[in-house]
Amino acid sequence: MFPFRANTIEARLEAARAGMGIVMYAAGVAPAGLEALVLDVAAPSVPFYVVMHQDLKRVPRMRAMATALTQLFSEHVEAL
C-alpha cells in the first residue's frame, strides 16, 4: 500500500480526520478534530529549504532574510 500524499495541509488534515493515519503539524497546535501525539522516539526529520526567485538573490535585504532564517532554523533544529 502506498502512503497518502497531498500538496496541501488541508488535504493531509482531512485524511487524518478520516482515519487514514497521522499528520505532522506545527508544534503546540492541535487542529480541530485531532489530538497531539506524544512520541517516545524522535519524529522523522523534515528538510527545510529557503527559496526565492533568482533575481531576488542579489537584493541585500532578501539575502539577509535568507541568512537569518537559515541561522534561526539551524540553531533550533532540535526543537522542531
- Residue 4 CB contacts under 8 Å (≥ 6 apart), including other chains: 12, 15, 20, 21
The pTM for the full model equals 0.50
37 plus 8 within the same structural domain: yes
pLDDT in the model for residue 21? 84
36 plus 51 within the same structural domain: no
1 plus 13 within the same structural domain: yes
- Residue 20 CB contacts under 8 Å (≥ 6 apart), including other chains: 4
pLDDT per residue as tens digits for the range 8-47: 889 989 999 998 888 887 777 778 888 888 878 876 677 7
Q: Residue 52 belongs to what domain range?
A: 45-80
pLDDT per residue as tens digits for the range 66-79: 999 988 888 776 65
Residue 61 pLDDT class (50, 70, 90 cuts): very high
In the chain, how long is the greatest CA-to-CA distance? 47
Structural domains of the chain, count = 2
